[in-house]
Amino acid sequence: MPATGGQGGSATSSGGAAGSAASAGNSSTAGAGGASSAGGASSAGGASSAGGASAGSGGADAGAAGSAGECTVGGTPDAGVEGAIAGSCIVAILRVTRRDEECSGLGGAHITFEIIEFGRGGGITTPSTGGHGYFPTADGPDQVGDIFVAGIDELDPPVDRSNGAWCITGLPTTDGNAHTLIEAASETAARAKMLEILN
């Protein structure tokens, strides 16, 4: 699928929640056929987070390979999808664990991930993307279980995305914004792609 972009380099622009304190930002997603961009934001205060992370030998090797270069919040600008991930301070393999839809007038999908393996950086457990006004493209992320290689920014303090007025309650607090994503068919394929990007 050819690259697509809308306002501000995103296919859809993102708004913030009423009374929100922070937003998780935008994300770019690439599938097997190319790259497409999707905007999104999630918002609110902060509390505690849940989740877990494990790092295998592949992630350790990738981290060692990528640790020598400098990293940039939001990834390297104007470097393409893989270049943006390569320039990110946190790079990891993620799995979608939940998708929560707003009942706001605009709508939007809040996507939550778990960490499968770090390739660079660490210290986060529950990254997310999407939010108010985010509508996933065909490349996702949109299905629970989908796997991605991602460039991630840490959210400090973590963000509580719950908003009862928009019918999104019980969401885990997010401590990372997955701003750039490449979908993979399996953990093995994701690990190979992550090593390729970081090397």
Question: Is the predicted pLDDT of residue 43 greater than 70, yes or no?
Answer: no
Instruction: Give the percent of the chain with pLDDT over 90.
Output: 57
What is the average per-residue pLDDT within 41-66? 38
* Per-residue pLDDT, 138: 82
- What's the pTM? 0.69
Cα(186)–Cα(171) distance, rounded to whole angstroms? Answer: 26
* Per-residue pLDDT, 23: 38
Lowest mean pLDDT among 74-78, 123-127, 186-190: 74-78
The residue type of 154 is E
State whether the Cα torsion 67-71-73-74 is positive or negative: negative
Confidence label for 79 from pLDDT (cuts 50, 70 and 90): confident
* Per-residue pLDDT, 69: 58
- Which structural domains are found in the chain, ordered by start? 7-198 (2.40.50)
- Summarised one tens digit per residue, pLDDT across range 115-160 is 999 999 999 999 999 999 999 888 889 999 999 999 999 999 999 9
Confidence label for 24 from pLDDT (cuts 50, 70 and 90): very low
Cα(191)–Cα(59) distance, rounded to whole angstroms? Answer: 7
What is the average per-residue pLDDT within 172-190? 97
Please say whether the beta carbons of 38 and 134 come within 8 A.
yes
Report the mean per-residue pLDDT for the chain: 75
Cα(155)–Cα(176) distance, rounded to whole angstroms? Answer: 5
* Per-residue pLDDT, 30: 59
